[in-house]
Amino acid sequence: MKTTFLNCFIVLAILLSACKQGNSDIKTDSIANDDTVAIATEDILTSDVLTKDQQATLKPIDVLNRLKQGNVDFTKDNLTIRNTTERVRKASLGQYPKAVILSCLDSRVPVEDVFHSGIGNLFVARVAGNIINDDILGSMEYACKVSGAKLVLVLGHEYCGAVKSAIDGVRLGNITTLLQKINPAVISAKASFHGDALSSNPAFVEAVCDQNVKLAIQEILSKSPILKEMQSKGEIMIVGGVYDMNSGKVEMFE
């Protein structure tokens, strides 16, 4: 009888220990997930995409200021929770973006996120080194002249691999032709740069990146009479900017 009682006691102790361990695991998991925020349905905004009438009333400077504010929100994590499904549905009925942005191919520069912008608000063109070619110009003309975008932004970024490759004179397949479009920026930056004009020097890479953006704007104006005329009439603005990889901030060239 004593032996049976002892065995039952041991089994009970094992079960209690297992339950305690299970509760401990649950608590640990709960702590590990403390950074997960529960979002109530009423907190999700049904934010509207721009309509044709809303786009028409925007001034280029208004669009620029909205992009600046969106970037501030991005850098401060002051982000709006949007009902993406609803935006997708509404955007399918038509698109009237406020700006067209030419960005580098770099995966570390999520353009819509950088400007805290949702579906249907921006045209985004991407190509390594944010270079200008006929296809990009045609896309910009379509965005502005046909679809009513009010701003053209050429967006470069720090630590650009294409810029570094252009500085190093890399030759590889079709990349060679692409990098030749960045060479004028390398030459121009060297003329006024004091220091080592090398891809290993972040300051020089930044100088070339800045110059590459500025030369891209000049090329847009010289090769697209449509965009040049629209800017001269105040219908659009053409500006440049550089994305800071460390802070997420975009420095605008106006």
| Residue 157, marked binder | yes
The CA distance from 186 to 163, in Å, is 8
The dihedral sign for the CA sequence 166, 167, 168, 169: positive
How far apart CA 156 and CA 209 sit, in angstroms, is: 6
Q: Is 104 annotated as a binding residue?
A: yes
Report which of 159, 163, 180 is spatially closest to residue 171, judged by C-alpha positions.
180
Of the candidates 162, 98, 94, the residue with the CA atom closest to the CA atom of residue 127: 162
User: H or E stretch including 102?
Assistant: strand 99-103
Q: Does the annotation flag 19 for ligand binding?
A: no
Listed residue (49, 46, 152, 48) closest to 96, CA to CA:
49
Q: Which residue has the tokens 């009010």?
A: 150
The answer to whether 106 is annotated as binding is yes
Residues annotated within a binding site for Zn(2+): 104, 106, 157, 160
Residues annotated within a binding site: 104, 106, 157, 160
